[in-house]
Amino acid sequence: MTTFNHAESTINGVGLGLKRELIPQIQAAFGQELISNINFVEIAPENWIEVGGKARKQLDWFVERYPIVCHGLCLSLGGLAPLNTAFLQQVKKFLTQYNIPLYTEHLSYSTDGYKGQQGYLYDLLPIPFTEEAVHYVAKRIRQTQDILGQRIAVENASFYVQAPISTMDELTFIKAVLTEADCLLHLDINNIYVNSVNFGFDAHEFLRGIPGERIVYSHVAGHYQQAPDLLIDTHGEDVIDPVWTLLEEAYQLFGAFPTLLERDNNIPPLPALIREVDKIATLQSKSQQHTSMTLQVHS
């Protein structure tokens, strides 16, 4: 077993994606047992940079009470247009202003780069799994890290079609990018499962190939089943049992790394989400107890 290394992680336990409709509910429940397992929150910096008024006060309230991580949406690491360095400077300022130590992005692209212009496609599209793409994306990740002055983490993405020019599988591509860019991994457990169904591979075998020493934290989420062999990563449903099983195995393999519940659509009242937050906490505790018992046996 590879034990999760907290050296580059300033977060622990369970997180929750901070959606606008959840803010007053969390504020009202703060200090109560109901939300005692929320240890950190995640925001998309695009939604909060240079906000003022009520939104600024809400952000200040959370900064004072919770560790915060930033998970970006629009950097387009695999895009054709040059990186948006002006935006990255805004991100750097935002991270410094609010003392946010971690910024992650998707291993995908969301811009078309038509004639050198950057047009946003409002979707996260898969990068072809080729050696050329490994070098290209790794270079852009290194550029991002140089501008921010820190390592970032990239998230394995869900996808629904494979590029016909791909010359390697997804796991080989991810590991090659992580190595060449020397960046961290934001592991999405649900995306592994979604892709395994959509493309017919073994999710557990995929998980066992993950370089656990690079995991900084993970996502779990629900998805929509459009067909028996087509899952859509909507973040709009409850987490299903096969994904919970995959998360539990990930803890057994790599230790109880920080894990965040994503819910972006069909958001229920906070108590319903807390049931899933609490389940993550229970799985983490179970993993830590198992690790402790194993160490005692071998000491």
Per-residue pLDDT of the chain (299 residues; tens, 9 = 90+): 334 444 456 899 999 999 999 999 999 999 999 999 999 999 999 999 999 999 999 999 999 999 999 999 989 998 888 999 999 999 999 999 999 999 999 998 765 665 555 555 555 678 899 999 999 999 999 999 999 999 999 999 998 888 889 999 999 999 999 999 999 999 999 999 999 999 999 999 999 999 999 999 999 999 989 888 888 888 889 999 999 999 999 999 999 999 999 999 999 999 999 999 999 999 999 999 877 656 555 55
- Nearest Cα residue to 124 out of 48, 178, 189, 73: 73
Q: What angle do CA 240, 10, 284 make, to 5 degrees?
A: 35
- Rounded to 10 deg, the angle between the 189-199 and 241-254 helix axes is 120
Q: Cα torsion at 233, 238, 241, 242 (round to 10°)?
A: 10
d(CA 183, CA 156): 13
SS3 287: helix
Domain 6-298 has CATH 3.60.10.10: no
Measured distance between the N- and C-terminal CA atoms of the chain, rounded to whole angstroms: 16
Residue whose pair of structure tokens reads 């004639």 in the numeric block: 115
Rg of the chain on CA atoms, in Å: 19
Q: Which residues contact 95 (CB under 8 A, 6 or more apart)?
A: 45, 70, 101, 103, 148
Residue extents of the structural domains in the chain:
6-298
- Nearest Cα residue to 11 out of 41, 55, 50, 54: 41
Retrieve residue 137's tokens: 């994306």
- Nearest Cα residue to 135 out of 94, 176, 193: 176
Amino acid at 110: S
Q: What is the pTM of this model?
A: 0.91
- The DSSP bridge pattern shows strands 215-220 and 184-188 to be parallel
Amino acid at 64: E
Retrieve residue 298's tokens: 């071998």
- Nearest Cα residue to 79 out of 123, 142, 137: 137
pLDDT of residue 79: 87
Beta bridge partners of 14: 259
d(CA 5, CA 231): 32
d(CA 122, CA 109): 10
- The DSSP bridge pattern shows strands 109-111 and 120-125 to be antiparallel
- In eight-state DSSP terms, residue 126 is P
pLDDT of residue 292: 63
- In eight-state DSSP terms, residue 77 is T
pLDDT of residue 117: 52
